[in-house]
Amino acid sequence: GAVVSQHPSWVICKSGTSVKIECRSLDFQATTMFWYRQFPKQSLMLMATSNEGSKATYEQGVEKDKFLINHASLTLSTLTVTSAHPEDSSFYICSATLPTFSYNEQFFGPGTRLTVL
Amino acid sequence: AQTVTQSQPEMSVQEAETVTLSCTYDTSESDYYLFWYKQPPSRQMILVIRQEAYKQQNATENRFSVNFQKAAKSFSLKISDSQLGDAAMYFCAYFGAAGNKLTFGGGTRVLVKP
């Protein structure tokens, strides 16, 4: 099956620093990657949609200058949390799509837990 | 915008018994897909079952089946012969061709009692 990896699986950083999270599709080329944020005991909230070679599309209320997304290749997308603050602490999940039949099935990465001190 | 509602924050079921999770959605689209995802304590999202809106037949995957009522915009998940490994958060999700993105419900936590 299609596998999506994320690195790192967890990260702790100091307030004011930037953190980069990688999302890779290991055995397929993903046309689109998605970034989600999940707070404890809550659902997944879509942050942005990323297409290879073009600018990401951010959901309403998500600061594009705060959460920088780069989709440099068909197998790699990165999310950089700039000038992180404790309120940015969360679980970040990426997914990648594989065009299948009439819809784009999404395959999810294992997530990255970010803690900002 | 599409919305997905799961009205049951938590459900408890005895091992080997059956539990049904509710999901309703709101959409003006005629062509869409509905999903149930499982998120165990590892937090890895796992696709449980998928339903295409144009198909009247309810989808089934082993012990998991859905009751899809298109007119009522209802999409419930039935877990039969519940096992300890079924304990997890379950999310209902909607994918419409127009939006090209998944919209998730708030989730239902399933507890399985041995």
At residue B94, what is the residue type? Y
Q: How far is B110 from chain A (nearest CA, A)?
A: 13
Residue A101 pLDDT > 60: no
Q: With 80 as the cut, is the pLDDT of residue A112 above it?
A: yes
Q: Output the pLDDT for position B31.
A: 87
Chain B residues lying within 8 Å of A46, measured CB to CB: 101-103
What does the pLDDT look like over B18-77, one tens digit per residue? 999 999 999 998 889 999 999 999 999 999 999 999 888 999 999 999 999 999 999 999
Segment A7-25 shows an average pLDDT of: 97
Do the Cβ atoms of A49 and B100 come within 8 Å? yes
Q: What is the CA radius of gyration of chain A?
A: 14
Question: Cβ contact (<8 Å) for A44 and B33?
Answer: no
Indicate the SS3 state at residue A31: coil
Return all residues near B55 (Cβ < 8 A) that are at least 6 apart. Answer: none
Nearest CA among B52, B12, B55 for reference residue B33: B52
Helix, strand, coil percentages, rounded to 5, for chain A = 5, 55, 40
pLDDT band (50, 70, 90) for residue A62: very high
The whole-angstrom separation of Cα A25 and Cα A33 is 9
